[in-house]
Amino acid sequence: MAKAPLYRTTRDIVIPAGTEVGLGPKASRYFTEHGDIYIGFDKDTTGNLRFDLEEALQIGLIEAAQ
């Protein structure tokens, strides 16, 4: 079985203080391949950033990891 591709970010992703946070959807359905970055806020709290892989590659936000 082939391993799934692995990517890495090419620059820092900054969420400025004061950024508004709204409720997310109860369910999501994706029609394209997407990537997730899991973020640890403290020992018990995490969040995630989800994005379309093709778009992230096109704008240079991520690259294939070796």
Tens of pLDDT, residue by residue over 4-46, are: 889 999 999 999 999 999 998 899 898 999 999 999 999 999 9
pTM comes to: 0.79
CA atoms within 13 A on the CB side of 45: 2
Q: What is the mean pLDDT of residues 39-59?
A: 95
The span from the CA of 46 to the CA of 64, in Å, is 24
Please state, as a whole number, how many other Cβ atoms lie within 10 Å of the Cβ of residue 9.
15
What average pLDDT does this structure show over 50-58? 95
* pLDDT tens figures, 15-24: 999 999 999 8
Q: What is the DSSP letter of 65?
A: -
Q: How many CB atoms lie within 10 A of CB 62?
A: 20
